[in-house]
Chain A
Amino acid sequence: MDSIIETENTTKKFPPDIYALDSFSLQVKKGITFGLLGPNGSGKTTLIRILVGVLKPDSGKIRVISNSLSWAARSSKIGYMTQSSALYQELTVWENLDFFSTIYGVPAREKKKRIADLLSLVKLEGKEKSAVNTLSGGMKQRLSLATSLVHKPELVFLDEPTVGVDPSLRVEFWDYFKSLNREGTSIVLSTHVMDEAARCNELALLRSGKLLSQGKIEEILSQTKTKNIEEAFLKLESGV
């Protein structure tokens, strides 16, 4: 299967001497849900920020989708949901979705249906005219997810997408992620929750900017001779 992301010896250092990513090499296959698992400060968000293009690495090679695409062409194929719900607080739910769909070039004739479908997915129907600053934290998180998917991206980066989302909706989110995979959309998501990681097709385990292991869950378990991801992580971590 072709890879949609490749990094080779990617390094990012923050002052004074903190390696957020240390010679990090990774491949992500097309059409799967790929999980970045690691504790806070392990480099998950830094890696995502580098891959979406808002942060430049100090060294190393990176390919996201294709290096032959222009910046605008590539970024219009990428969806990005940040850790905090990055939304315009004074605008309404609809205005936020309308804005993001326009800057990502969603055709005007498709916009209305696309937004309505997403509102239904994230259970925000009837909230179209509500200002974002009147929504609960969970609602904002759901809207943030919707804004990152409004242009039907080929590759989606979701930084801790299910934080603040109730369990039943979380199940629906995961069903939707799987349906996106079936349509060919690749998903890279970060999490520090082990049971969420178990839902991913493949995982990368991170610790202090280093890649501990990468592969399917069963591969990681077999490699570490452990029964679950938590044990595998602890075993790999102790070997660093």
Chain B
Amino acid sequence: MSIQRTLAIAKRIVQQFVHDRRTLGLIVVVPLLLLSILGALFKTTRTYQVGFVNQDTGIITQLGNQKLSQKIEDSLKSSATFEWQIKNLESADKGLKNGSLDAYVLLDKNFSRDLLNKKLPTITIQLEGSDPNSSQQVLGLINQNLTNLFVSQKSAKIKVDFLYGGEKFNSLDYFAPVFIAFFAFFFVFLLTSVSFLRERNQGTFERIFASPVNNAELVLGYFLGFSLFALIQSIIVLLFTIYILNVHFLGNILFVFLIELLLVVGSVNLGIFLSAFAKNELQVIQFIPLIIVPQGLLSGLIFPIKSMPAILQWLSYAMPLTYANNALRDIMIRGKDLASVSFDIYILLAFAIAMIILASISIRKGI
């Protein structure tokens, strides 16, 4: 094993990137652009248009006609979650149909009477319903509003506390750590597989394999060269998410890099391994929907693993990105140390070793 030869390969990769400034720029600019879009998407909360139809006729008491629903109406009007529109039933139905309303809340004519007679009053929530995702959000938020209202009527006190995160945490805080890992994994895989394929096709591998360079030096040289760019990318992405997108960060930044480093070792070698099965760059691109997209969908990047069907959960636990995501969320959001994520580290290490073995076996294929 020659350090000189290994470093020569790493240096050559660095030089190639330095000359190829467009690729270099894309490595940094694309993740920042995507994170900015995600940041804007996650930080913008949609204000739902909700109608309020109050048909309550009230109840005659010694104090006159009392409408207990009035308090609800006044309270909901001051809620910031929705834009409330007071409607009659006909205009509310019309609003749902023409898209000006997402839902409406209907209090029937016996609302006050039922409440005073200690019967359960009926509150109807009519949803537009074509988008299940929006429907669930609206329903959840209306329920939350009404619950708060009824609880406050009875003078109960709800105390909310957070083990991790807090009221200021938003979706971007939860997604940023895993996107950092995803970008490193994706770009390093893509660049390694394309670079290796290019070496095979332009004949430089033929020269390398006739030289004193051995498989270990080649794989390590490639890893060092690409890791440098993965590290630079990660630093820029991390600083951007913390200081520009104001993502909350509790953990140790060195732990984040360690997890990324393990992931990148696996990714470089996965790229080397798979490049042996592609004859041209178009075929390498086909590996993206095969290898990268399933990891994006099943690793807990966007969809929670626990809510997946059992078979998909099994698949997600077979993916290295799942463990990187777990570890990075634990470190960045929950402020945990390396010992707490040791299981994820072992799995990432095992993945890296397995990929190194596969890359070493396949490296001379097709030469």
Contacts from A to B (Cβ < 8 Å): 49, 52-55, 71-73, 75-76, 78, 80, 82, 84-92, 95, 99-100, 102-105, 131, 147
Nearest CB to that of A81 among chain B residues?
B207
Q: Does B340 contact A (CB under 8 A)?
A: no
Query: Are A54 and B206 also in contact (CB < 8 A) when A88-B12, A99-B8 are?
Result: yes
Contact (A102, B212) CB under 8 Å given A91-B16, A131-B19: no
CB-CB contacts of B1-34 with A at 8 A, as 1s and 0s?
A: 0101100110110011001100000000000000
Q: How far is the CA of A89 from the CA of B9 in the complex (A)?
A: 15
A-B contact sample (17 more), CB < 8 A, given A52-B210, A87-B202, A91-B19 = A49-B206, A71-B212, A71-B214, A72-B2, A80-B207, A86-B207, A88-B12, A88-B204, A90-B16, A90-B19, A91-B12, A99-B11, A102-B4, A103-B8, A103-B213, A104-B211, A105-B5
Residues in chain A near residue B12, CB distance under 8 A: 88, 91, 95, 99
Least distance between A52 CB and chain B CB atoms (Å): 4
B204 to chain A, nearest CB (A): 5
Q: From residue B217, how far is it (CB to closest CB) to chain A in Å?
A: 9
Which residues of chain B come closer than 8 Å to A90, judged between CB atoms?
A: 15-16, 19-20
A87 touches B204 (CB 8 A): yes
A55 (CB) vs chain B CBs: closest residue = B367
Q: Are B212's CB and A76's CB within 8 A?
A: yes
Chain B residue nearest to A92 (CB atoms) is B19
A105 with B209, Cβ < 8 A, contacts A82-B203, A90-B19 known = no
Tell me whether B123 is interfacial, beta carbon within 8 Å. Answer: no
Report whether B9 and A103 are in contact in the complex, using a CB–CB cutoff of 8 Å. yes
**How far does the alpha carbon of A88 sit from the alpha carbon of B198 in the complex, in Å?**
10
Residues of A with C-beta under 8 A to B19 = 90-92, 131
Q: Which residue in chain B gives the minimum CB-CB distance to A76?
A: B212
CB proximity of A144 to chain B, nearest CB, Å: 9
Contact present for B8 and A54 (CB under 8 Å): no
Q: Could you list 19 A-B pairs, sorted by A, with CB under 8 Å?
A: A54-B206, A72-B212, A73-B212, A75-B212, A80-B207, A80-B210, A82-B207, A84-B202, A86-B203, A88-B16, A88-B204, A89-B202, A90-B19, A91-B16, A95-B12, A99-B11, A102-B5, A102-B8, A105-B2
B297 interface hit (Cβ, 8 Å): no
Q: Which of B199-229 contact A (CB under 8 A)?
A: 202-204, 206-214
CB contact between A91 and one of B5, B15, B203, B367 (< 8 Å): that residue: B15
Contacts of A76 in B (CB 8 A): 211-212
Contacts of A104 in B (CB 8 A): 211-212
Contacts of A87 in B (CB 8 A): 202, 204
Nearest B residue to A53, CB-CB: B210
**Chain B residues in 8 Å Cβ range of A75:** 210-212
Given A89-B202, A95-B12: A78 and B210 within 8 A (CB)?
A: yes
> Smallest CB-CB separation from B12: which chain A residue?
A99
- Please give the distance in Å from A58's CB to the nearest CB on chain B: 16
User: How many angstroms between the C-alpha atoms of A71 and B1 in the bound complex?
Assistant: 12
Q: With the chains together, A80 CA to B208 CA distance in Å? A: 10
Closest chain A residue to B4, Cβ basis = A102
- In the assembled complex, the CB of A153 is this many whole angstroms from the nearest CB of chain B, namely 11
Alpha-carbon distance between A54 and B200 when the two chains are bound, in angstroms: 13
Minimum distance in angstroms from A56 CB to a CB of chain B: 10
Chain A neighbourhood of B2, CB < 8 A? 72, 105
User: Once the chains bind, are B20 and A103 in contact (CB under 8 Å)?
Assistant: no
Cβ-closest chain A residue relative to B17? A90
> In the complex, what distance in Å separates the CA atom of A110 from the CA atom of B8?
17
| CB neighbours of A88 from chain B (8 A) | 12, 16, 204
Q: How far is the CB of B175 from chain A (nearest CB, A)?
A: 35
Q: Once the chains are docked, how many angstroms separate the CA of A89 from the CA of B207?
A: 14
**How many Å from the CB of A110 to the closest CB on chain B?**
14
Residue from the list B16, B203, B212 in contact with A105, Cβ < 8 A: B212
Chain B neighbourhood of A89, CB < 8 A: 202
Q: What are the residues of chain B within 8 A of A99 when measuring CB–CB?
A: 8, 11-12
Task: List residues of chain A with CB within 8 A of the CB of B367.
Answer: 54-55
Report Cα–Cα, A75/B213, bound state, in Å: 9
Q: Known contacts A86-B203, A88-B204; decide if A103 and B212 are in contact (CB<8 Å).
A: yes
Separation in Å of the B68 CB from the closest CB of chain A? Answer: 77
Q: Smallest CB–CB gap between B260 and chain A, Å?
A: 26
Q: A12 CB to closest chain B CB, in angstroms?
A: 14
CB within 8 A of B4: which of A82, A105, A147?
A105
Most chain B Cβ neighbours within 10 Å, of A53, A54, A73, A95:
A54
Selected from B8, B11, B206, B214, the residue in CB contact (under 8 A) with A86 is B206
Residues of chain A within 8 A (CB-CB) of B203 are 82, 84-86
Chain A residue nearest in CB terms to B18: A90
Question: Closest 4 A-B residue pairs measured CB to CB?
Answer: A86-B203, A102-B8, A72-B212, A52-B210
Closest to A95 in B: B15
List B contacts of A85 (CB < 8 A): 203
Chain B residue numbers with a CB within 8 Å of A102 are 4-5, 8
Distance, CA A159 to CA B367, complexed state (A): 16
Most B CB within 10 A of own CB, among A54, A80, A100, A103:
A103
In the assembled complex, the Cα of A89 lies from the Cα of B195 at a distance in Å of: 12
- Tell which of B8, B204, B209, B212 has the most Cβ of chain A within 10 Å: B212
Residue in A closest to B19 when the chains form the complex, CB atoms: A90
